[in-house]
Structure 1
Amino acid sequence: MTPINDIRCTLGEGPLWHPERAEFFWFDILGGKLHSLNRSWTFDEYVSAAGWVDRNTLLVASETRLFVFDLETGGQRDLCPLEADNRITRSNDGRADPQGGFWIGTMGKHAEHGAGAIWRWYRGELRKLFGDISIPNAICFAPDGRSACFTDTPTRRIMRVGLDAQGWPAGTPECWLDLNADGYNPDGAVFDAAGNFWLAQWGAGRVACYGPDGAFLRAVSFPASHTSCPAFGGPDLTDLYCTTAREGHATPAPLDGATFCVPDVGKGLQEHRVVLDA
């Protein structure tokens, strides 16, 4: 399997296929970089995830804030602070939701136990949804928009929670998929159009696919053990992208930290647009 380019990320994350640009983006969190196939941008703090606002605009989550980023000019406009008064934490996994909001997880820079949280920004409001999180991951949304999934990676449990009409959690999260018996570490995830759940498994070098009932269906293997987050892209949304990391390897292999694309894996969903107007 060949990487999409020569970039090797210390901690690849936040893959995003921009539907209006037909362009793929991803982050190197610890490198403070946003990448596309044709160019890269460097920031003065950690950056981890984004949602698309329009053709030229992303909402980006950083170490201390959410900000609006112009892909053409490089201009930035702060949207709101994100745990800016907490020097311990940074942002991690995040994704736009079907209602136009944006979910983002925070965690300790050294994975301090329980230091993080999961937040949602929606039409001008940033609200903490869940606290006491160590490593937030797998934030994604069922095709019908009525439920969300997330995980705290060390627990090896994928949680699922119902959503109300505005996309706020309704009820208490429940364990939908428990990986403790299998020993897999859940990282980033995304749903496909059929309601299948595609989950990167850190340390296992694969993205595993589970059916709507949680049953294991198949796995796509990658030549880098620390697979971190999948995303569907390409003209028909049938290509599976996956970021990986060099972090955690005393002696990284040549493909650790690369980003990969596997064609014709399944039928993905278009990433949801973030609505900025209140």
Structure 2
Amino acid sequence: MTDTHSFTGRVLCETSCQLGEGPTYDPASDKAFWFDIIGQKLHELHLSTMTKAVHDLPFLGSVLAVIDAERQLIVSDQGLFIRHIADGRLTPFVKLEDKAVNRSNDGRVHPSGALWASTMGRSAEKHSGAIYHVAGERVTKLFANVTIPNSICFSPDGATGYFTDTNINHLMKVTLDPKTGLPTGEPEILSDGSGTPGGIDGSVCDADGLIWNARWGSNAVDVYKPDGTKVARHQVPASQASCTAFIGQKADRLLVTSAWADMDAAARLADPHAGQTFELGVAVKGRFEPKFAL
């Protein structure tokens, strides 16, 4: 039986995102970042002062990775861009694909410094998306015919990758070359979530190898062992939890984004925290995200 824990955290940001996604944290600046994909916004929160900034984007951004103290990498529906932190200037880097119907979705940097990034149909068109490996400017398609790619994260040693197609709801694992982040085997089902409510959405893997997964449609963050056993469920005050990230100078706190996308007025009234960003309120043994290696 999975242990279920009531919400003991707090609302970290009251701004309601239509599709809050792609959270990450930069320990050098003590800033958390996340996107409102549909709203074309990049949110920035300095944790020690709780100073907030919101940056308008000219595209649908969904993933941010640190390059160095001056630059970030952003994944968007228009391709990958280098963002210059000082002035927000965006420089085109590489494209994943040229399918106009698609936008970017989930992604994360592998310990090798390579990036896994994904695409999906803007209206979740069946099998329209894919998951890619980006090493410098070299782009390799890893998995095709994906409808809603999510849950991309990696074991601490970089030898295992995790992902899902939320439309199918199987949490998958695949063996990787730790030096490159490229698959060395075929994906296998780690956990079958297809028979239970909600969808497997964004995940992050902690220092012990536990996978912290935002469960879309279930007001929850679920925790899985590396063997696929679900060991805990932590409730959150928004039904559409979307993604997780370790935050704080010790990476010992968990940020959770959420969304109000696809809700009508009645649903939003019944879910007043939908789209807000939360701190889960439990101690975690997190890890800082690797930097993207140019």
TM-score normalised by length of structure 1: 0.96
Deviations along 1:208-227, one digit per CA (max 9) or x if unpaired, are: 01112221211111110000
In the other structure, the counterpart of 1:113 is: 126
| C-alpha displacement of 1:123 | 2.0
- Identity across matched positions, percent: 38
Is the aligned partner of 1:134 residue 2:147? yes
Q: Distance in 2 between matches of 1:152 and 1:140?
A: 13
Q: What is the CA distance between 1:3 and its match in structure 2?
A: 1.6
Residue 183 (structure 1) shift: 3.4
What is the TM-score with the length of structure 2 in the denominator? 0.91
How many angstroms apart in 2 are the aligned matches of 1:138 and 1:2? 23
1:263 corresponding residue in structure 2: 281
Which amino acid in the other structure matches residue 160 of structure 1? K
Picking from 182, 203, 224, the partner of 1:189 is 203
Measure how far apart 1:5 and its partner are: 2.2
Corresponding pairs, count: 275
For the pair 1:154 / 2:154, whether they are aligned, the reply is: no
8 A contact 2:10–2:281 mirrored in 1: no
Deviation larger for 5-14 or 105-114: 5-14
Q: Is the 8 A contact 1:32 1:43 kept in 2?
A: yes
Secondary structure in structure 2 of the residue aligned to 1:3: strand
More moved, 46-55 vs 260-269: 260-269
Measure how far apart 1:64 and its partner are.
Answer: 1.6
Between 130-139 and 203-212, the greater mean CA deviation after superposition = 203-212
Distance 1:95 1:117 in 2: 14
1:242 corresponds to 2:256: yes
Query: 1:193 offset after TM fit, Å?
Result: 0.6
Report the Cα distance in structure 2 between the residues aligned to 1:172 and 1:214, rounded to whole angstroms: 17
Give how far 1:55 is off: 2.0
Superposed CA deviations along residues 164-212 of structure 1, whole A, max 9, x for unmatched, are 2321111111111111233341000011111101111100011001112
Q: Distance in 2 between matches of 1:95 and 1:2?
A: 25
Give 1:176's match in structure 2, choosing from 185, 190, 210: 190
User: Is the Cα–Cα contact under 8 Å of residues 236 and 280 in structure 2 kept in the other structure?
Assistant: no
- Aligned partner of 1:205 among 219, 225, 231: 219
Tell me if the contact between 2:214 and 2:242 (Cα under 8 Å) persists in the aligned partners: yes
**Distance in 2 separating the partners of 1:225 and 1:265:** 22
- Which 4+ runs in 1 deviate beyond 3 A? none
Q: 1:5 aligns with which of 13, 17, 22?
A: 13
Q: CA deviation at 1:150?
A: 0.5
Matching residue within 211, 215, 229 for 2:229: 215
| Segment of structure 1 superposing worse, 52-61 or 113-122 | 52-61
Q: Letter of the 1:137 partner, please give it.
A: N
Return 5+ residue gaps in structure 1 as ranges: none
Q: Distance in 2 between matches of 1:3 and 1:56?
A: 29
Structure 2 gaps of 5+ residues are 1-8, 46-51
* 1:272 maps to amino acid: P
Matches of 1:149 and 1:39 in 2, distance apart?
Answer: 32
Instruction: Assess if the C-alpha contact under 8 Å between 1:20 and 1:54 holds in 2.
Output: no
Q: Separation in 2 of the partners of 1:223 and 1:87?
A: 35
